[in-house]
C-alpha cells in the first residue's frame, strides 16, 4: 500500500467512525430525548383532559350551590308550593343549563319534585326512573354532609354527572329543608367541547366496556394504582395518553384517551437526519482538506525522498546525495540518509580496497599452490615410474631366485644329502638347511606378491590399468576362487570353507581376474587369521541393482580402532604381528581390493570384534 493510499484509507476510516458515532448519538440521545419529550407532553395532555372532565362535575356542583342555598328552594322542599316548579323549572331551564335531571327531596327523603330531560330535549319518564333509581341506590336523597356529594355515576345508558347538596336558606344557614340533586349526562357533545377547549383528540370510554381496558388489564392496573396518566406508542404516527376518572363511589369509571400525532418524534428524527447530513458534509470537507495538506506537506515529499533513495547507486564510487526542502522531520530524515550514504560510501571504498588486496593475495597463493601441485604431480609421476620400474626390475631376478632356490633344494636333497652321514650334529645342520630353503622360498614368493600388487596398485592409481570387462557368471567366479584357495585350506584341516550362492544371480560386467583377485585376497585373509571353525563366502542380491559378497570367518577378529585403517596402503594390523612370527602378508591386499571395488562404483567394508570373527562385505552394482 502506498503512503497516499494509506493516508486516504485512514482518513476514510476515521470519517466513517465519526459518522457511525454521530448516528449512534442521534439514535440513542437526540431521538430518545425527543421521544421522552413527546411522552411527557402526552402525559400532561392526558392529565389535562382528566382535569377538564373533573372540572365539569365541579361546575355542576357550583351551579347546584346557587339553587340549593336559596329560600325559595328551601320553602318548596319543606312545604311543596307548586308555583316554584312552574316558575323555575320549565323545560327552558334544563335546556339552557344543559341539565338532564333535577330532583328535590324533603328531609325525609320523599320526592317533592323530579324532572328528567333526555338528549332530544323532552321530558322523559324512563330517564326519570333511571336517575331516581340511581339516586336512591347511591343514597343521595338524604343525610348528606353540608358540602354534599358530586361525581360521575355509571348509568345503563352511559355516564352522568351527579351533584347533590342539602337545601339551605339563601344565607347558607340551616336547618336543611331537603336535598337537591342535579344530573348532567356525559354526552358526546360534552366530550367534543372538552376536545375543542383543549385542542386535543379526546375520547371517553366506560372502564367496564372499553375494549382497551379489557384487553390491557395491566394498563388499568397501572392507572388505578398511581392515578398518573399512562402513555403508549401506537405506531409510527400515533401516540396515546390514558388517564382515569373515578365515579362518585371512588371506583374506576371512565377511561380518558388522548390521541396525538407523533410530530415531536418526527421532528426529532428530522433534526437527527439533518445533523448527520451536516456532519457528513463537514467531515468530507475536513477529510479532503486534511488529505490535501498531508499530500502536500508529507506524502509528496516522502515519495520524492523515496524515489531519490531508490535512484541512489551505492555501488559506484561517486558520492550520492538526496535533497529535501524545509526544516522539519522529513528534511532531518533526508540529512540522516545523506550521512548514512556517506558512511556506506566510505565503507564501500574500504571494502573494495580490502577485496583488491585479498584478490592479490589469493592470486599469489594460487600461483604458489599451482607450483606446489606441479611439483607434487612431478613427484607422483616419478614415484609411479620408480615403482613401475623397480617392480619390473625385481620381477625377473625374483623369478630367477625362486627357480634357483627350488633347484638348489632339489639338488641338495637328491645329491648332497645321500652323501652325508646323518648322525648327531650333521642331522641338525641338514634340517636347518632345509628350513632355510623353505623360508627363502616363502619370502621370495611374498616379495613377488608384493611387487605384483604394488604394480597393480600403481597402475590403478595412475589410471593405466587395463580393465578387460566381460560378462562374468558369479557362481563360476566364486567357485574358481574357492578351488584356488583349497590348497591353503588343506593346510588347515580344522577350518572349513563353505560357500552359499543365491539362485538366479544376474551376470556381472567386470574384469574377471580383478574380481577373482578381490575374492582370493578376502579368502586368504580369512584362512590366515582363523585357527578353527570356518570361512564362509555368500553372494546375494541387495535390492534390485546391487550384488552383495560376504566373506565371514570365525577367526580372531579385528580391533575396533583398526577397522578404519585396514584398507590403507601397506597397513598390517596387530593380527599380522601377533599371529605370525614372521609376516606373510603384504599390507596391500585390502587396499588393492578397495581400488578394484570402487572402480566399479561399489563399496567395501568390514565388521568385526576381537574374538568374534570378521565379516568383509563388498557390493558391486549390477549394470543395465
* Choices 101-109, 269-277, 415-423, 568-576 (CB under 6 A): range interacting with ligand ADP: 568-576
Q: Could you give the strand order of the β-sheet that contains 252-261, starting from the edge strand earlier in sequence?
A: 201-206, 252-261, 238-246, 230-233
Backbone angles phi and psi of 154, in degrees to 5: -90, 110
For the CB of residue 385, give the shortest distance to ligand ADP in the complex, in Å: 24
> Which lies closer to ligand ADP via its Cβ, residue 587 or residue 621?
587
* Choices 112-120, 172-180, 220-228, 571-579 (CB under 6 A): range interacting with ligand ADP: 571-579
- Cis peptide before 175, with omega less than 30 degrees from 0? yes
> Which lies closer to ligand ADP via its Cβ, residue 248 or residue 575?
575
For the CB of residue 557, give the shortest distance to ligand ADP in the complex, in Å: 6
Judge contact between 184 and 161, C-beta under 8 A: yes
| Residue 573 interacts with ligand ADP (CB under 6 A): yes or no | yes
> Which lies closer to ligand ADP via its Cβ, residue 344 or residue 563?
563
| Residue 571 interacts with ligand ADP (CB under 6 A): yes or no | yes
Query: Is 302 buried (19+), middle (13-18) or exposed (0-12) by CB count in 10 A?
Result: middle
Q: Please, which residues bridge with residue 241 across strands?
A: 231, 258
Element holding 538 (H helix, E strand): strand 533-541
What number of chain residues touch ligand ADP (CB under 6 A)? 22
Q: Please, which residues bridge with residue 470 across strands?
A: 510
* Choices 87-95, 181-189, 266-274, 589-597 (CB under 6 A): range interacting with ligand ADP: 589-597
Q: Which long-range contacts (CB under 8 A, 24 or more apart) does 345-352 make?
A: 345/314, 345/317, 345/319, 345/320, 348/314, 348/315, 348/317, 349/317, 352/317
| Residue 594 interacts with ligand ADP (CB under 6 A): yes or no | no
Using CB under 6 A, pick the residue from 178, 268, 585, 602 that binds ligand ADP: 585
> Which lies closer to ligand ADP via its Cβ, residue 63 or residue 571?
571
> Which lies closer to ligand ADP via its Cβ, residue 529 or residue 549?
529
> Which lies closer to ligand ADP via its Cβ, residue 241 or residue 573?
573
Distance CA 158, CA 210 (A): 12
For the CB of residue 481, give the shortest distance to ligand ADP in the complex, in Å: 15
Strands 178-185 and 201-206: unpaired
> Which lies closer to ligand ADP via its Cβ, residue 220 or residue 592?
592
Judge contact between 537 and 551, C-beta under 8 A: yes
> Which lies closer to ligand ADP via its Cβ, residue 305 or residue 558?
558
Q: Where are the beta strands (DSSP E) in 18-172?
A: 101-106, 111-116, 149-155, 158-167
Binding mask 538-567 for ligand ADP (x = CB under 6 A): ---------------x-xx-x-------x-
| Residue 101 interacts with ligand ADP (CB under 6 A): yes or no | no
Binding to ligand ADP, residues 518-537 (CB under 6 A): 521, 525-526, 529
* Choices 299-307, 542-550, 569-577, 596-604 (CB under 6 A): range interacting with ligand ADP: 569-577
For the CB of residue 525, give the shortest distance to ligand ADP in the complex, in Å: 3
For the CB of residue 615, give the shortest distance to ligand ADP in the complex, in Å: 9
Q: 193: closest CA among 52, 84, 33, 41?
A: 52
Sort residue 313 into left (φ over 0), alpha (ψ -120 to 50) or beta.
beta
Judge contact between 519 and 549, C-beta under 8 A: yes
> Which lies closer to ligand ADP via its Cβ, residue 440 or residue 563?
563
| Residue 589 interacts with ligand ADP (CB under 6 A): yes or no | yes
Q: 167: closest CA among 105, 125, 248?
A: 105
Using CB under 6 A, pick the residue from 576, 602, 620, 622 that binds ligand ADP: 576
> Which lies closer to ligand ADP via its Cβ, residue 251 or residue 577?
577
Binding mask 486-525 for ligand ADP (x = CB under 6 A): -----------------------------------x---x
Q: Which long-range contacts (CB under 8 A, 24 or more apart) does 345-350 make?
A: 345/314, 345/317, 345/319, 345/320, 348/314, 348/315, 348/317, 349/317
For the CB of residue 602, give the shortest distance to ligand ADP in the complex, in Å: 17
Q: What angle do the packed helices 329-411 and 300-311 form, to 10 degrees?
A: 30
Distance CA 430, CA 415 (A): 13
Contacts of 61 (CB under 8 A, 6+ apart): 148, 150, 163, 165
Using CB under 6 A, pick the residue from 190, 575, 620, 622 that binds ligand ADP: 575
Using CB under 6 A, pick the residue from 252, 587, 610, 621 that binds ligand ADP: 587
Strands 495-501 and 533-541: parallel
| Residue 33 interacts with ligand ADP (CB under 6 A): yes or no | no
Distance CA 387, CA 395 (A): 12
| Residue 456 interacts with ligand ADP (CB under 6 A): yes or no | no
Q: Which residues bind ligand ADP (CB under 6 A)?
A: 521, 525-526, 529, 553, 555-556, 558, 566, 571-573, 575-576, 585-591, 614
Amino acid at each position: 500500500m502506498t503512503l497516499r493510499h494509506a493516508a486516504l484509507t485512514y482518513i476514510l476510516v476515521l470519517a466513517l467512525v465519526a459518522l457511525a458515532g454521530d448516528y449512534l448519538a442521534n439514535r440513542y440521545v437526540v431521538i430518545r430525548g425527543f421521544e421522552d419529550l413527546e411522552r411527557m407532553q402526552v402525559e400532561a395532555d392526558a392529565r389535562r383532559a382528566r382535569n377538564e372532565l373533573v372540572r365539569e362535575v365541579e361546575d355542576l356542583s357550583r351551579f347546584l350551590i346557587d339553587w340549593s342555598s336559596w329560600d325559595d328552594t328551601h320553602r318548596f322542599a319543606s312545604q311543596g308550593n307548586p308555583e316554584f316548579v312552574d316558575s323555575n323549572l320549565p323545560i327552558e331551564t334544563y335546556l339552557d343549563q344543559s341539565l338532564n335531571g333535577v330532583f328535590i327531596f324533603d328531609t325525609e327523603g320523599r320526592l317533592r319534585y323530579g324532572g328528567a330531560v333526555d338528549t332530544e330535549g323532552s321530558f322523559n319518564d324512563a330517564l326519570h326512573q333511571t336517575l331516581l333509581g340511581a339516586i336512591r341506590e347511591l343514597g343521595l336523597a338524604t343525610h348528606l354532609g353540608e358540602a354534599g356529594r358530586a361525581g360521575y355515576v355509571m348509568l345503563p345508558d352511559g355516564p352522568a354527572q351527579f351533584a347533590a347538596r342539602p337545601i339551605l336558606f339563601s344565607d347558607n344557614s340551616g336547618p336543611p329543608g331537603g336535598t337537591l340533586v342535579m344530573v348532567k349526562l356525559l354526552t358526546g357533545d360534552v366530550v367534543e367541547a372538552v376536545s375543542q377547549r383543549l385542542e386535543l383528540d379526546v375520547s371517553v370510554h366506560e372502564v367496564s366496556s372499553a375494549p382497551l381496558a379489557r384487553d390491557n388489564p395491566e394498563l388499568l392496573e397501572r392507572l388505578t394504582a398511581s392515578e398518573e396518566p399512562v402513555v403508549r406508542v401506537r405506531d409510527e404516527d400515533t401516540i396515546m395518553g390514558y388517564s382515569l376518572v373515578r365515579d362518585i363511589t371512588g371506583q374506576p369509571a371512565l377511561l380518558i384517551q388522548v390521541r396525538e400525532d407523533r410530530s415531536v418524534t418526527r421532528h426529532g428524527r428530522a433534526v437527527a437526519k439533518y445533523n448527520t447530513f451536516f456532519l457528513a458534509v463537514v467531515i468530507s470537507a475536513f477529510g479532503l482538506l486534511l488529505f490535501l495538506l498531508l499530500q502536500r506537506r508529507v506524502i509528496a515529499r516522502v515519495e520524492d525522498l523515496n524515489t531519490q533513495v531508490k535512484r541512489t547507486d551505492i555501488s559506484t564510487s561517486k558520492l550520492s546525495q538526496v535533497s529535501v526542502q524545509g526544516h522539519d522531520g522529513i528534511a532531518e530524515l533526508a540529512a540522516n540518509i545523506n550521512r548514512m550514504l556517506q558512511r556506506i560510501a566510505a565503507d564501500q571504498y574500504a571494502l573494495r580496497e580490502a577485496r583488491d588486496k585479498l584478490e592479490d593475495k589469493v592470486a599469489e597463493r594460487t600461483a604458489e599452490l599451482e607450483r606446489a601441485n606441479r611439483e607434487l604431480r612431478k613427484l607422483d609421476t616419478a614415484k609411479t615410474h620408480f615403482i613401475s620400474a623397480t617392480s619390473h626390475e625385481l620381477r625377473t631376478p625374483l623369478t630367477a631366485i625362486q627357480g634357483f632356490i627350488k633347484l638348489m633344494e632339489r639338488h641338495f636333497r637328491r645329491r648332497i644329502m645321500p652323501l652325508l652321514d646323518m648322525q648327531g650334529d650333521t642331522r641338525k645342520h641338514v634340517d636347518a638347511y632345509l628350513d632355510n630353503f623353505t623360508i627363502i622360498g616363502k619370502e621370495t614368493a611374498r616379495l613377488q606378491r608384493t611387487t605384483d600388487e604394488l604394480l597393480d596398485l600403481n597402475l590403478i592409481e595412475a589410471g593405466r590399468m587395463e580393465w578387460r570387462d566381460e560378462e562374468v557368471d558369479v557362481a563360476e567366479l566364486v567357485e574358481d576362487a574357492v578351488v584356488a584357495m583349497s590348497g591353503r585350506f588343506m593346510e588347515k584341516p580344522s577350518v572349513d570353507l563353505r560357500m552359499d550362492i543365491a539362485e538366479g544371480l544376474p551376470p556381472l560386467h567386470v574384469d574377471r581376474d580383478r574380481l577373482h583377485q578381490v575374492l582370493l585376497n578376502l579368502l586368504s585373509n580369512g584362512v590366515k587369521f582363523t585357527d578353527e571353525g570356518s570361512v564362509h563366502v555368500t553372494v546375494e542380491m541387495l535390492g534390485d541393482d546391487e550384488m552383495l559378497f560376504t566373506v565371514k570367518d570365525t577367526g580372531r577378529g579385528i580391533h575396533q580402532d583398526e577397522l578404519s585403517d585396514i584398507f590403507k596402503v601397506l597397513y598390517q594390523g596387530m593380527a599380522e604381528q601377533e599371529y605370525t612370527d614372521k609376516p606373510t602378508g603384504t599390507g596391500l591386499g585390502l587396499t588393492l581390493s578397495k581400488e578394484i571395488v570402487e572402480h566399479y562404483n561399489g563399496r567395501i567394508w568390514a565388521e568385526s570384534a576381537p574374538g568374534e570373527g570378521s565379516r568383509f562385505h563388498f557390493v558391486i552394482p549390477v549394470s543395465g
